[in-house]
Amino acid sequence: MRLQSVDTHLVVALHALLQEKSVTRAARRVGVTQPSMSHALSRLRAHFEDPLLIQVGRQMTLSERARDLAPRAAEAVERLEQVFCPVERFDPRRSRRTFRLVATDNLELLVLPPLIRLLAVEAPHVDLRSRSIPADFAELLRRGELDAKLGRGGPVPDGCRSTLLAAEEIVCVMRRGHPASRRTLTVARYAACEHLMVSPHGEDHNVIDGELAERGLRRRVALTVSHFLVAPFILAGSDLLLTVSGRVAETLARKLDLVVRPCPVGTRSYTLTLVWPERAEGDEGHRWLRAAIQRAVAGDSRPALPGA
């Protein structure tokens, strides 16, 4: 049998009749007239080919079929109530929700430490799951398998929205005492250095190499690594130079007493963005998450105002 052939209003009437064992009381419980409930009982009897309620003396009792239907009708009504009940307001202090993110590793380095501190204060039971950005991230966002993507700005995929997290400048990071740290870092001196490149997919060139080539210069990329975790430790013990975003450079430099210098090549700024699916636009929990990520990037650790 298909659900389309059943008047689902009868489920509510069936539950009330089996609970109350009285047409009058069932009508009062559901909020309809007694004739309407009598009509519903007639339809139910015809549908199940069973009397359901049987007169015994002055009282009504359930037929054997009705006794079998009672717990299933109660469960069906409970599920309907769950579907149509008002949406529970998101309370970060009590929520046990899990949010799934994808991010470039530099954004994880920039966002996750302050974000987890923020969660510890405001949302101690909320969990995060972060992983690298897959090629089909937009489809995963649209399907509801991901909540947000943090990374370098670009075209916003269909069915998604985006907001600016930060504008970034490119800088150079090196160990204190590196030869290039003692003088102004010109383009020629930059090209003459040996370089470390963070390359998740293994490439050994990027837009900076293209800009150098336009000037008739070429740099040597002596080492590529797949993520930022190892980079500061390599810099601290070598004469390699890393070209990276300013915010990431500040984080790396503080940890191992590294030096940050302006980069003479590729100085054009770029944006870091947060992308999320349109389906989550009005979700209170998702709005809270987006605001929390923006506050973490901005360095604002103040508790959010109630209802914000």
> pLDDT value at position 5?
53
Look at residue 79 in the predicted model and tell me its pLDDT: 81
Query: Which CATH code for domain 3-84?
Result: 1.10.10.10
Please give the C-alpha separations between residue 197 and each of 86, 231, 254, in angstroms, as whole numbers.
Answer: 52, 9, 20
Sequence ranges of the domains in the chain: 3-84, 98-168+270-298, 170-262
Closest C-alpha among 308, 305, 303 to residue 121: 303
Say if strands 148-152 and 98-103 run parallel, antiparallel, or are unpaired: parallel
pLDDT of residue 305: 40
Residues 145 and 290: their CA atoms lie apart, in Å, by: 17
Q: For the stretch 33-53, what's the b/e string if a residue is b when 16 or more beta carbons lie within 10 angstroms of its beta carbon?
A: eeeebeebbeebeeeeebebb
Question: What is the token pair recorded at 242?
Answer: 């890393």
Can 3-84 and 170-262 be said to share one CATH topology? Answer: no
User: How open is the CA angle 21-22-24, to the nearest 5 degrees?
Assistant: 155
Query: Which residues, given as ranges, of the chain have pLDDT below 70?
Result: 1-6, 85-87, 267-268, 300-308
Q: What is the pLDDT of residues 60-104, one digit of tens each?
A: 899 999 999 988 888 888 887 777 766 678 899 999 999 999 998
Per-residue pLDDT at 267: 62
Residues for the chain: how many in total?
A: 308
Q: What are phi and psi of 202, to 5 degrees?
A: 90, 5
Which are the contacts of 33, defined by CB distance < 8 A and separation ≥ 6? Answer: 27
pLDDT at 306: 38
Which homologous superfamily is 170-262 in? Answer: Periplasmic binding protein-like II (3.40.190.10)
Instruction: Measure the CA–CA gap between 248 and 128, rounded to whole angstroms.
Output: 21
Superfamily of domain 98-168+270-298 in the CATH hierarchy = Periplasmic binding protein-like II (3.40.190.10)
Burial of 266 (0-12, 13-18, 19+ CB in 10 A): middle
Quick one: pLDDT at residue 97?
A: 93
